[in-house]
Structure 1
């Protein structure tokens, strides 16, 4: 009779592993699709020489679509919302890339930032998947970091200090790296079951890391 609790626990463990694998598979599949769609909208914006999106319009569009995605994350409409969000972010990226590509070594900077972003994501995700650590202890850092970065970003809109811009880029890289660790760890340890929300977190982290790397590489190359 004592074997039944062990059999039950073993079955639950197997079921949990199946669910985790399913969430991981759906998350990475959706992430790949949204990155591809984002690249298409960015390419369209570049080809049409779209004007840079006003910073306030960008913030309103981003947070509005982010709120909508979270609101609809448990329904099929959440998929449309996440593509709307990532498509919008890709479109805003187009004019930024055109600006960098206009510099003497712009294509090299963009490719280096792209490769660096991929390496950071693979390294952090791989570490979280292999170690299976619980990174929820980073939640306090994430909340404090978000408030500091948001305030610094608003201040930078008005003062436009080069040193503050570099500090913001470094801060966003650290914040986004922590978000990748925490989100991947949450999936692996059963704390995240919604692949739409997981995808949004990873996408925004990748976007921030890419933009931050571009800013830092440009500053250190002396091409600003």
Structure 2
């Protein structure tokens, strides 16, 4: 529930505060609901693509991944050809070059569609985890990530501490993390990958709390203006931020908890 003191600070009190408080609950439910649908789309896309890319029949395969597991033509294109770089960096390109333009010029419906399309592309990009890790370890890591995410998001929602300074520091850390990951693509250093995973997990854990507080405060600051179209787009933007934090926590945690096939 929204803090009434926070709402009054924004210049709203009494009955109007109650209306904003109710609207905030609906807004957060929309954020988490949209994020959950996006996660489902990603999981289904990753599972479906991995199933289409792998066969157990050598006669229908183009490449032997390991004993008893072979890549089809689609699998070779996705994981053993230059197309893998397109698949890997397509979600990042969308975030840097597509999402901002969609938020500024698109309708709420277009932003929602863009988010779900991004979730599907992200699923294709992540489909290789089903080739590397056991289904049990993927499920186990997902549950652990869900519990951690829920706790961190709850903290960000209820804390009275201003997390904006922490958020700025963590975003700088994300840039450094991306640079380190690109460098390690060429170095292939296990020690560096371990450090990246540990630091990345901490960064996105902190960002989960920061994004939740920012979503809440942004709604409170703008709800009094009654711009419902903008608030709808803001809910999808918030869902994307939390979705990215969750997926990064999951992937980094999978490197520690995942059992390989």
Same fold (TM over 0.5): yes
The aligned runs of 1:197-208 (5 Å cut-off) are 197-208=237-248
Cα contact 1:41–1:90 (8 A) shared by 2: yes
- Residues 1:169 and 1:98: Cα distance change in structure 2 (over 3 Å): same
Partner of 2:126 in structure 1? Answer: 93
Number of residue pairs the alignment of both structures matches? 211
Matched, 1:38 2:42: yes
Partner of 1:79 in structure 2? Answer: 112
Cα RMSD (Å): 2.5
Cα contact 1:132–1:185 (8 A) shared by 2: no
Range with greater deviation from structure 2 (142-151 or 82-91): 142-151
| TM-superposition CA deviations, 1:36-57 (whole Å, max 9, x none) | 1112111211210253455631
Runs of 5+ consecutive residues of structure 1 not aligned to the other structure: 101-105
Which whole-Å CA distance do the structure 1 matches of 2:126 and 2:257 have between them? Answer: 17
Cα contact 1:65–1:84 (8 A) shared by 2: no
| TM-superposition CA deviations, 1:102-155 (whole Å, max 9, x none) | xxxx23321221111111111111222333543212123123202210221111
| TM-superposition CA deviations, 1:184-209 (whole Å, max 9, x none) | 11122336850111111111111111
Runs of 5+ consecutive residues of structure 2 not aligned to the other structure: 1-7, 54-73, 221-230
Which whole-Å CA distance do the structure 1 matches of 2:127 and 2:90 have between them? Answer: 16
Matched, 1:157 2:185: yes
1:65 Cα deviation (Å)?
2.2
Matched, 1:20 2:6: no
| TM-superposition CA deviations, 1:39-84 (whole Å, max 9, x none) | 2111211210253455631353112322323322352211111111
Cα contact 1:23–1:187 (8 A) shared by 2: no
Cα contact 1:183–1:201 (8 A) shared by 2: yes
Cα contact 1:70–1:197 (8 A) shared by 2: no
The aligned runs of 1:1-224 (5 Å cut-off) are 9-49=13-53, 51=75, 52-53=78-79, 56-66=85-95, 67-73=97-103, 75=107, 76-100=109-133, 106-190=134-218, 193=231, 194-218=234-258
Range with greater deviation from structure 2 (135-144 or 193-202): 135-144
- Residues 1:87 and 1:197: Cα distance change in structure 2 (over 3 Å): same
Cα contact 1:42–1:94 (8 A) shared by 2: yes
Range with greater deviation from structure 2 (34-43 or 10-19): 10-19
TM-score in terms of structure 2 length: 0.72
